[in-house]
Amino acid sequence: MCGIVAGAFQDNVIPFLLYGLKQEEYRGYDACGIGFLEKKEIQIVKKIGRINSLVEKVQNLKGNIGIAHTRWATHGKNTENNAHPHMSMHRIFALVHNGTIYNYKEIRTSLMQKGYVFYSQTDTECLANLLEYEYALSGNILEAMQQMQQRVKGTYALCILNKEEERIYFMKKSAPLIIGIGKQGISLSSDIRALEQQDFSVDLDEEEYGYITKENYFIYNQNQRVTKKEKPIQKNRFQKKEISMDCYMKKEIFEIPYILENILKKYENGFSAEIINLFSQASKIVFIASGTSYHAALIGSQYFSIPTEIYFSSEFITEERKIHSDVLYVFLSQSGETMDVLKALEFVLSHKGITLGIANVENSTLLRKTQYSLQMHAEAEVAVASTKAYCAEVLLLYLLAKYDKISFCKENILLIIREIKEHLKNVESIENIAEQLKEKEHAYFLAKGKDYFLIQEASLKIKEVTYLHSETLYAGELKHGPIALIDEGFPVFLLGNKENNEALLSAREEVEARGAVTYFMTYDAKQDLGFLPLMTDFFLLAFYLAQKKGCDVDKPRNLAKSVTVE
């Protein structure tokens, strides 16, 4: 959610800022904006909607020092006033912000009592005015930032313009921020994707702050200068187009078999000794995740021979939990920046728990903070609705559960991959179902037993990209209330296998007797991972239905790929 790009360049920085924003589009956003220095004045340009509309407004502008942002609305509606960058009252500072300020109302009230005027509904504007206020007291921007650190409660990645200096100041707490170094100059971003035009990167850690110039960068922690290792930025890793499609979601669905082949090849000889020890010595595994990753954990956990528990990351710390030293806590997040997951991780780490992070983004916060880590190797997933990353998570968890017998499982996995390829060759029946559903507003997904975990993900995909209201139900619960909604033409999906078809057939008769249109889908439950070809069909159904309904398939409304707010 939200994206930050900033740069101090020898030449015009605006093309770089626009490139960076485009690279961060996948994160989800409602508005975008750019701020830059021009003759010791800060110029701001904002736009509701897509980045292309911003390009039209700034393509003829020039500036060497600039900040840019894509906003996903949280505090305040999607308006230009609420979009970033935000200016301080006397136009001394402008800043962009990712994160959430918990005590912004308290800060806002205090500043209003001192005569400050606010023009937005956001928590971010209070930071711009607080910085201006603290700067007026100390006369030193770094000192003012330190005072802000003491006063502000919440999470933030900040990039700040001061109208008097050709610098960009930054602050970070519990939100990603990276420095980029290149021949053009120095940059900052919340996402490594936006820094591909640079040569090296530097990761910022908690509570660090400082500034960049055209030639250098300066990092501080508690008033002490910090030296960091510069790492080469891998070029073109997010531009792979092995499969050409008209949108990312479809492309990524068709990449599923190749991604699974790559993961199998990566781990066919097993895992490192330290990873194996984690699982062999644990008395229990606790999986913590959100959304699609949570659904992957529900399925993947079934393959482990030791006890497992699965928690929504947003709920994990809402009650007192005892962290045990002999339990392995596994955190899953596609982006590795999911705020709920990182908050749960902080809790476990603070109680000396053993943690393993699984994410798809190299060098993400999750993979850096956990004691042990594994990358999904699903390659870049741009569409907001996750498809290939879900399959990658499931396969990786399966391989971890079978760490001592992967060679015996290989042939079965290859068989599943071949089945997925066959499904992808014949999608006409899926398109036909999508055609039948395009005018519908509601649907039920029914299953028995562990298949309920599968329909949760199928239903989620339908919700995410088509906006059709879909509910998941255990088939036996249908008659205990939900059947009241069934009327003529109501679509009902039933997912089963050879072992539970009888109970599902009974549910099918119940809904068809009341006019429902049913779709019965089965797989062989005796075959490990036998459901993956069927899940691919559900992903395709969501895609084709979204297209037929005229939805923005890759960028569904209100959603973000990387959920960096609580």
Which positions are annotated as active-site residues?
2, 561
DSSP letters of 100-124?
-BTTHHHHHHHHHHTT----SS-SS
The type of residue at 458 is A
Crossing angle of helices 388-401 and 291-300, in 10° steps, is 30
- Are 118 and 106 in contact, with CB atoms under 8 Å apart? no
Contacts 24+ apart (CB under 8 A), 74-77: 74/100, 74/123, 74/565, 75/104, 75/121, 75/122, 75/123, 75/124, 76/120, 76/121, 76/122, 77/121
Residue (of 373, 409, 374) closest to 268 by Cα position: 409
CB-based contacts of 130, cutoff 8 Å, min separation 6 = 107, 111, 148, 151, 152
User: Rounded to whole angstroms, what are the CA distances from 57 to 14, 17, 91, 96, 540?
Assistant: 11, 14, 21, 19, 37
> How far does CA 108 lie from the centroid of its chain?
30
**What SS3 class is residue 67?**
strand
Is the backbone peptide bond immediately before 85 cis, with ω within 30 degrees of 0?
yes
User: Rounded to whole angstroms, what are the CA distances from 123 to 79, 172, 187, 496, 564?
Assistant: 14, 16, 25, 48, 15
User: What residues are paired with 320 via a beta bridge?
Assistant: none
Strand-strand pairing, 284-289 and 308-312: parallel
**Dihedral of CA 475/476/479/484: which sign?**
negative
Query: What is the enclosing helix (H) or strand (E) of 230?
Result: none
**Dihedral of CA 191/197/203/204: which sign?**
negative
Strands in 64-214 per DSSP E = 65-71, 86-87, 93-98, 156-162, 168-173, 178-181, 185-189, 200-203, 209-212
- Are 65 and 21 in contact, with CB atoms under 8 Å apart? no
**What SS3 class is residue 376?**
coil
